[in-house]
Amino acid sequence: PLQYEDLVCFRDRNPGAPHHYLVVPVEHMGNCKTLKAEHIPLVKRMMEVGKAVLQKNNFSDLNDVRMGFHWPPFCSISHLHLHVLAPASQLGFLSRLYYRINSYWFIT
């Protein structure tokens, strides 16, 4: 795991893409439903860490990345975590469903 100030990043244990990381606040937070306007800087920082980890792992095409949150009740963990998947163009069939942009269960 990589630690960035108040965030931690690690590989997803069940990857949906060649690069699949979770960016998680160290301090406990609920899920994406509990986010408010004051959390915008945190979410932006989570996305920046996701991009930095991809670049650190030699993935540079930041136009081929999917980032987002699973919408409750479709998340197995009640702690905020951002999915970072790349390359998005290589998501398998199930992953394309599971991480579908702005669906009922996954929001970008």
Query: Residues 42, 2: contact at Cβ < 8 Å?
Result: no
Q: Which residues contact 33 (CB under 8 A, 6 or more apart)?
A: 71, 72
Dihedral-angle region of residue 5 (phi above 0 means left; psi in -120 to 50 means alpha; beta otherwise): left
Query: Residues 83, 12: contact at Cβ < 8 Å?
Result: yes
Which residue in 19, 20, 81, 83 is the catalytic one?
A: 81
Active site residue 81: yes
What's the burial of 107, exposed, middle or buried (CB within 10 Å: 0-12/13-18/19+)? middle
AA identity, residue 65: V
Catalytic residues: 81
